[in-house]
């Protein structure tokens, strides 16, 4: 069960990359704004940092009836986090008790999340005792029965129709897709990568 923490002060000053929402279809990533524009941000000491796990440009017109992925949040100095971080689902039920793994069912038809440029899946919050660097990662769901080495979601009309997702920023897996209080430019925006750059990652 994801740990829930009541948070009090909320202050996040976003900075860095201010590109439009990733234009590619079926993306997933962490962002520091609800419109999925900011993936490099800052949060001061004694404030609550908030990050959103977001689907972008879902191309199934019926929306989303479920989703799965694995997340990892790496804090440079864990002692800089006051209390336990909070995870709050935007909707649905998580069938995996591991706090890093997400196998979320939402429901089809009217229960499904509507198609939108940015769909918030879950919100992460933590109270910072210092302006510590925090790196956010998205991976495929371990042992997935429906997706081959990719996160994914199920169609809002039919949960048997599965659509793979690409991580919107940071590639390959193991590269942060969002960074809080890090050096500027540390996150690679996949839209800025050339095809030759992508090929070089696999040499």
Residue 190 binned pLDDT confidence (cut-offs 50, 70, 90): low
**Range 121-141 average pLDDT:** 98
Question: What's the pLDDT score for residue 22?
Answer: 80
Cα separation, 152 vs 27, whole angstroms: 9
Residue 46 lies in a domain: yes
Q: Look at residue 128 and tell me whether its pLDDT is greater than 80.
A: yes
Question: What's the pLDDT score for residue 170?
Answer: 78
With the C-alpha atoms ordered 104, 52, 186, 11, is the resulting torsion angle positive or negative?
negative
Residue 142 lies in a domain: yes
Q: Where in 97-140 does DSSP place strands (E)? A: 101-105, 118-128, 134-139
Residue 103 lies in a domain: yes
Residue 35 lies in a domain: yes
CATH code of the domain containing 157? 2.60.40.680
Cα separation, 153 vs 84, whole angstroms: 28
* Opening angle at CA 105, ends 102 and 106, nearest 5: 125
pLDDT tens for each residue of 3-26? 333 222 233 333 333 334 588 999
Count up the domains in the chain and report the number. Answer: 1
Q: Is the pTM of this model over 0.75?
A: yes
Question: What's the pLDDT score for residue 185?
Answer: 83
Residue 3 lies in a domain: no
Residue 1 lies in a domain: no
> 46 is in which domain, residue-wise?
13-200
Structure tokens at 194: 């050339």
């Amino acid at each position: 069960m994801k740990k829930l923490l009541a948070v009090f002060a909320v202050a996040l000053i976003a900075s860095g990359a201010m590109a439009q929402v990733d234009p590619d279809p079926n993306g997933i990533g962490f962002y520091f704004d609800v419109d999925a524009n900011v993936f490099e941000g800052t949060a001061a000491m004694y404030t609550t940092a908030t990050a959103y796990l977001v689907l972008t440009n879902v191309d199934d017109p019926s929306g989303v009836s479920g989703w799965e992925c694995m997340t990892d949040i790496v804090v440079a100095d864990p002692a800089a986090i006051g209390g336990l971080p909070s995870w709050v689902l935007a909707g649905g039920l998580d069938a995996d008790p591991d706090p890093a793994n997400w196998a979320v069912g939402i429901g089809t038809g009217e229960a499904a999340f509507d198609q939108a440029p940015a769909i918030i899946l879950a919100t992460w919050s933590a109270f910072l005792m210092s302006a510590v660097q925090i790196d956010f990662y998205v991976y495929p769901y371990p042992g997935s029965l429906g997706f081959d080495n990719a996160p994914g979601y199920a169609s809002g009309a039919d949960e048997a129709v599965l659509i793979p997702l690409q991580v919107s920023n940071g590639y390959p897996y193991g590269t942060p897709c969002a960074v809080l209080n890090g050096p500027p430019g540390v996150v690679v925006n996949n839209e800025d990568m050339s095809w030759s750059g992508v090929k070089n990652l696999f040499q």
